[in-house]
Amino acid sequence: MDSNEFRDWSRRAADWGADYRDTVRDRPVRPRVTPGSIQHSVEASPPEQAEPMEAIFADFEAKIMPGMTHWQHPRFFAYFPANAARVSVIAEYLVTAVAAQCMLWQTSPAATELETKMIDWLRQALGLPEGFSGVIQDSASSATLAAVLTMRERALGWEGNSKGLSGQKRLRVYCSNQVHTSIDRAIWVAGIGDENLVRIPTAGALRSMDMAALEAAIRADKEAGMQPAGIIACVGGTSTGGTDDIAAVADIARRHGLYLHVDAAWAGSAMICPEYRHFWAGIEKADSIVFNPHKWLGASFDCSIQFVRDPESHVRTLAIKPEYLKTHGHDGIINYSEWTVTLGRRFRALKLWFLMRAHGLEGLRTMIRNHVAWSVALAERLRNEPDFEIVTEPMLSLFSFRHRAPQGVDADEHNLRLVNAINDDGFIYLTQTRVEDRVAIRFQVGQFDATREDVEAAFDAIVQTARRLA
């Protein structure tokens, strides 16, 4: 591809992207395809000779797009959002065009220094105190792994990386039963082992860790000769929005000398609104925090922020400095590859810079406040229907509900049929969960372009489908 072709196809791709965003509301949220159909439409072997871009782009539209779930659809109410505000997409065009490797200051000085500034902009936006620094990770999974590795090293006197875990005391990490499965994976990868992830029972409307049970578990493990290493608390858990009492957890962590990591991957974005910060009161006592601007704030995936209170411990755990990665002649610079498990790094800070300047914090706050208000209103409408029940109350813009099954029909089976029927229709997209081992249907508002009308239309889709099944 020469320069003229590159220019032409770049324009055509940008035009296609704008047209896609303009028409995505008219598409079914989830594709109506069967497993294997896309794979079977693609040639079995790679081409020996170059093919024209016209043919490649035509196949993209004919073979790939019919099999895509539309995460930017305004009626995407499943999982959590993976927003990509239009301005963030433009920033990604530029990042892709420049195609820089941003692992060190010297390999992309502007990327490193803008990352430092964006971390501090977000620290201020979320109301975190001065003293927190941080790094842009690819996802919350990577941030949590970095936190678990740091708590492991600190508990082992910084000998885990050098000597391994063999012969050491069994490490123990504590969390609730509401945390994301990324915590399980971090425990596996860090070599701590699933048996040493201690799940503390939860209580109350927010499904918070039971503090007495947490304290008892730590003391029992110490008496048994094991080594408590850290606690992973949750603000806005994936299933139903489970949220721990961060201040109380932090007090226990400090009393026992444990590292505290807070997973606020989804709900953290809402903390740009001061009225929601009570959900993580005490957050200033955490050792590290993760939240994903690529979920609710509008930054395109991937873009996860890990704040750390003690960067020295974090870097001491992760930094490797062979000669070829040293920056000579400069002191006090930051090489963010020393803050992450991966060496290679994308220029993720640019989309945050574009996003916050183009929308302003107040514009982003308005979006989040609207989503919360619309979700609460929908929960109330469903509550007032005689054949529906609210299972978990709204936590920000997330709640769960259940439809009462006809007499003689298993309730779990009925609600699974309901969510599948809703999704097969394609007008909206929802996901299910389990609450106290019973099926419930999750609903969350978070898509960047969603409107009040989109949320209100979801009510009709849910109720009409439920009554048709019943």
One of 3.90.1150.170, 3.40.640.10, 3.50.50.60, 3.40.190.80 is the CATH number of 360-469, namely 3.90.1150.170
d(CA 227, CA 218): 9
Catalytic site residue 324?
A: yes
pLDDT of the residue at 40:
87
449 has pLDDT over 60: yes
The structural domains of the chain, with segments of one domain joined by +, span 3-74, 101-346, 360-469
Show Cβ contacts of residue 228 under 8 Å, excluding neighbours closer than 6 positions.
155, 171, 172, 173, 174, 218, 221, 222, 256, 258
DSSP state of 61: I
215 has pLDDT over 90: yes
- Helices 86-98 and 349-383, packing angle to 10 deg: 150
d(CA 264, CA 458): 27
Which residue out of 79, 324, 336, 429 is catalytically annotated? Answer: 324
Write out pLDDT tens, residues 289-329.
Answer: 999 999 999 999 999 999 999 988 988 898 876 544 454 44
pLDDT of the residue at 331:
56
- Coil, helix or strand for 348? coil
- 3-74: in CATH 1.20.1340.10: yes
pTM: 0.91
Q: Which CATH class is domain 101-346?
A: alpha beta
Closest CA relative to residue 266, chosen from 233, 292, 300: 292
Write out pLDDT tens, residues 332-357.
Answer: 688 888 888 888 888 899 999 999 99
> Which residue do the tokens 């009040």 mark?
452
- Please say whether the beta carbons of 311 and 133 come within 8 A: yes
